[in-house]
């Protein structure tokens, strides 16, 4: 395990740096000179030069990259071109919205999907098996923002039981309004997520149900439930954890679109605004943080898998 951990950590770090390279190159390849955003109309060449210095685009690209990377490691993500405010604190200020929404949506999706998916597999012959399948099939085809719009129309506008959007100025210091504000976004993301999770859980359960060791256990006289519990759960959980890691990352990214529907001041809305305003430091910062989060979740997922099933380690190091 330690050897795997070291190796996996190295891969994580390399991936992070490479992701930063990709991000940097991608944004530099794009047309448009960010320096324009800093300049007043009719700027003189001196002003342009000064603005370049301010932006740090007066030096060669590799130097720019190293500077940016160095700054990024010290959590200095530069300043927004539009607001002239530092990007780092801006991102930090958005996390109290995006992180709770992501985690809550993820948990809710798991709570919905695991029993429903397992039920669909174990009771595939009952009438609700096909219905669960059909609903899940539908769920993966519906855009999240549309679900959001429909939920707002029904629960906020018609029934007026929940806020239509926004986040209270007091934030989490007054948990009541904050929780109310994220209920609909969380449900929206969770519904979309659970549709795909149901399919995985169902398939994983089917796989376990047909597995030899379960048949063996049952043949040896263990009850079906006990066999499922002792052998099935553990065996099914390994692939499910891999999927969950992916899904958690996907949930986090799903919030990007949904935040726009619910006017939530999270990372997603920060990114969308940044893109609309061509605010490169903001785009870069948000993308770097999101990518790091995605890579980290994958890392944790891999570690968790190997903790549960050490056999993967042996194969991995062979």
Closest approach, Cβ 105 to other proteins, in A, equals 12
> CB of 245 within 8 A of CB of 301?
yes
| Alpha-carbon separation of residue 157 from 140, 164, 187, 243, 255 (angstroms) | 26, 7, 17, 36, 22
Closest approach, Cβ 173 to other proteins, in A, equals 11
Contacts of 287 (CB under 8 A, 6+ apart): 23, 271
User: What letter would DSSP give residue 211?
Assistant: -
Closest approach, Cβ 190 to other proteins, in A, equals 12
Degrees, nearest 5: CA angle 30-31-33: 110
Entry field: residues in the chain: 318
175: Cα within 13 Å, side-chain hemisphere = 1
Closest approach, Cβ 42 to other proteins, in A, equals 8
User: Is the Cβ of residue 78 or residue 274 nearer to other proteins in the bound state?
Assistant: 274
User: Is the Cβ of residue 82 or residue 107 nearer to other proteins in the bound state?
Assistant: 82
User: Is the Cβ of residue 107 or residue 164 nearer to other proteins in the bound state?
Assistant: 164
Burial of 77 (0-12, 13-18, 19+ CB in 10 A): buried
The token pair that represents 107 in the structure block: 């948990």
User: Is the Cβ of residue 22 or residue 59 nearer to other proteins in the bound state?
Assistant: 22
Report how far Cα 120 is from the mean position of its chain's Cα atoms. Answer: 27
User: Is the Cβ of residue 230 or residue 278 nearer to other proteins in the bound state?
Assistant: 278
Closest approach, Cβ 49 to other proteins, in A, equals 14
User: Is the Cβ of residue 275 or residue 307 nearer to other proteins in the bound state?
Assistant: 275
Closest approach, Cβ 291 to other proteins, in A, equals 5
Closest approach, Cβ 110 to other proteins, in A, equals 14
User: Is the Cβ of residue 60 or residue 315 nearer to other proteins in the bound state?
Assistant: 315
User: Is the Cβ of residue 107 or residue 155 nearer to other proteins in the bound state?
Assistant: 155
Closest approach, Cβ 131 to other proteins, in A, equals 13
How many Å apart are CA 199 and CA 192, to the nearest integer? 12
How many Å apart are CA 110 and CA 121, to the nearest integer? 16
Cα–Cα nearest to 274, from 263, 283, 264: 283
What H or E segment, with its residue span, contains residue 146?
Answer: helix 144-151
| Alpha-carbon separation of residue 138 from 72, 133, 206 (angstroms) | 41, 9, 21
Closest approach, Cβ 126 to other proteins, in A, equals 15
Residues 252-261 as b/e (b if ≥16 CB within 10 A, e otherwise) read: bbbbbbbbbb
Cα–Cα nearest to 244, from 208, 200, 178, 210: 200
User: What letter would DSSP give residue 232?
Assistant: I
User: Is the Cβ of residue 107 or residue 211 nearer to other proteins in the bound state?
Assistant: 211
């Amino acid at each position: 395990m330690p050897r795997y951990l070291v190796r996996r950590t190295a891969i994580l770090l390399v991936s992070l740096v490479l992701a930063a390279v990709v991000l940097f190159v991608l944004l530099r390849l794009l047309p448009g000179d960010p320096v324009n955003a800093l300049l007043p109309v009719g700027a003189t060449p001196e002003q342009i030069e000064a603005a370049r210095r301010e932006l740090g685009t007066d030096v060669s690209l590799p130097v720019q990259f190293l500077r940016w990377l160095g700054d990024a490691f010290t959590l200095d993500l530069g300043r927004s071109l539009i607001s002239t405010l530092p990007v780092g604190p801006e991102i930090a200020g958005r996390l109290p919205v995006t992180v709770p929404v992501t985690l809550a949506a993820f948990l809710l999706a798991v709570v919905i999907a695991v029993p429903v998916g397992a039920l669909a597999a174990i009771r595939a012959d009952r009438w609700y098996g096909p219905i669960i399948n059909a609903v899940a099939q539908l769920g993966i085809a519906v855009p999240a923002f549309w679900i959001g719009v429909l939920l707002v129309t029904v629960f906020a506008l018609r029934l007026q039981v929940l806020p239509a959007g926004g986040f209270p100025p007091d934030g989490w210091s007054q948990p009541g309004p904050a929780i109310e504000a994220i209920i609909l976004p969380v449900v929206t993301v969770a519904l979309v997520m659970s549709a795909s999770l149901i399919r995985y859980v169902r398939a994983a359960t089917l796989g376990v149900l047909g597995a030899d060791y379960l048949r063996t256990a049952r043949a040896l006289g263990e009850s079906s439930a006990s066999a499922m519990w002792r052998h099935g759960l553990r065996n099914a959980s390994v692939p499910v954890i891999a999927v969950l890691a992916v899904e958690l990352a996907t949930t986090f990214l799903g919030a990007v679109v949904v935040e726009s529907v619910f006017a939530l001041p999270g990372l997603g809305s920060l990114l969308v605004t940044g893109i609309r305003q061509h605010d490169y430091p903001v785009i870069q910062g948000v993308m770097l943080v999101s990518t790091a989060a995605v890579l980290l979740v994958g890392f944790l997922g891999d570690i968790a898998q190997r903790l549960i099933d050490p056999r993967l380690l042996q194969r991995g190091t062979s």
